[in-house]
Amino acid sequence: MPGSVMIADMSWTDYQRRIEQDFPVVLLPIGSLEQHGPHSPLGSDEILTRLIANAVAVSVDGLVAPSISYGCRSQPRTGGGWHFSGTTSIEGRTLMLLVRDILQEFGRHGVRKIAVLDTHFENEWFVIEGIEEALKEMRRDEVDGMKIVKFRYFEFITPGTLGRVFPDGFPGWALEHAGVMTTSLHLYLTPELVDMSKAPLHGVIEYPPYDVFPFDPNAGTRSGSLNSPVSASAESGKLIFDEVVAALTAAIQSEFGNRNKD
């Protein structure tokens, strides 16, 4: 598709020309296939990350790689747990190798600016390990000048916005799984994927400050949400989306500038 920011839509010759002439930043969205309550989609982490990445890519004249759409084992205190139907987890080492291999391939193509956008909590250290392993391999292959920046979009949401989206107090990001923030983003970006009539009404799910293995599925959230999303709105979603896209755009411009262009 002419003009698309999606690498998968481009021919290899158009892609090669872009990489070699423009040195664009390549954005890699990483999410999960994981229950997000009875009211929002299994692909929530990936869908929201990809839509944010697309908007940022348009702003910075970058490219978006196909997402990594599966994530590491969903944990009770951050994702509700692995036991829900639909939650489809991969092992940490699988994700680490996927990240390593994909980044190394971009390096071979001549890409030198990569923004990794990961949203699934349980992925974090395996993504970092994949980045470190890719850099180690690329140093060995004498690929010079690679820079990789890892983002979690929700870390760009300012206290002012949190105050408006959570007038009764912000519960913390871990408890926001299938909660007000992600549901608001869906209501703004993909309202057809949300059914608020099925939104859970329970309050914050309380867990002790430790993890038990094996986990007892009866001990945690039954709905899949860790907090009620009923105060979510498309207006809050737009507020968050606009703020995050602007902040990510600024961060990418600041980190990459015209690196390697000269």
82-119 in b/e burial notation, b at 16+ Cβ within 10 A?
bebeebebbebeebbbbbbebbbebbeeebbbbbbbbb
Is residue 32 a contact residue for Mn ion (CB under 5 A)? yes
- By beta-carbon proximity to Mn ion, the closer residue of 23 and 45 is 45
| Backbone phi and psi for residue 222, each to the nearest 5 degrees, phi listed first | -95, -30
- By beta-carbon proximity to Mn ion, the closer residue of 113 and 120 is 120
Binding-site string for Mn ion from residue 78 to residue 97, where x marks contact by CB under 5 A and - marks none: -x------------------
* Contact region with Mn ion (CB under 5 A), list: 56-64, 72-80, 92-100, 231-239: 72-80
- By beta-carbon proximity to Mn ion, the closer residue of 34 and 176 is 34
Q: How far is the CB of 96 from Mn ion (least distance, A)?
A: 17
Is residue 221 a contact residue for Mn ion (CB under 5 A)? no
- By beta-carbon proximity to Mn ion, the closer residue of 62 and 179 is 179
Strand order in the sheet with 147-151: 63-64, 26-30, 113-118, 147-151
Interface pick for Mn ion out of 24, 45, 67, 143 (rule CB under 5 A): 45
Q: For helices 124-140 and 92-109, what crossing angle results, to 10°?
A: 40
| Backbone phi and psi for residue 59, each to the nearest 5 degrees, phi listed first | -65, -40
Is residue 120 a contact residue for Mn ion (CB under 5 A)? yes
Residue 201 CA from chain centroid, whole number? 26
- By beta-carbon proximity to Mn ion, the closer residue of 35 and 54 is 35
* Contact region with Mn ion (CB under 5 A), list: 76-84, 142-150, 157-165, 203-211: 76-84
**192 CB neighbour count, 10 Å cutoff:** 7
Task: Give the residue among 152, 141, 81, 72 at the shortest CA–CA distance from 106.
Answer: 141
- By beta-carbon proximity to Mn ion, the closer residue of 24 and 179 is 179
Positive or negative: CA dihedral 188, 194, 200, 205? negative
Total residues at interface with Mn ion (CB under 5 A): 5
Q: How far is the CB of 123 from Mn ion (least distance, A)?
A: 8
Is residue 29 a contact residue for Mn ion (CB under 5 A)? no
Report how far residue 152's alpha carbon sits from residue 198's, in angstroms, rounded to the nearest whole number.
28
Q: How far is the CB of 120 from Mn ion (least distance, A)?
A: 4
Question: Given the rule CB under 5 A, which residues bind Mn ion?
Answer: 32, 34, 45, 79, 120
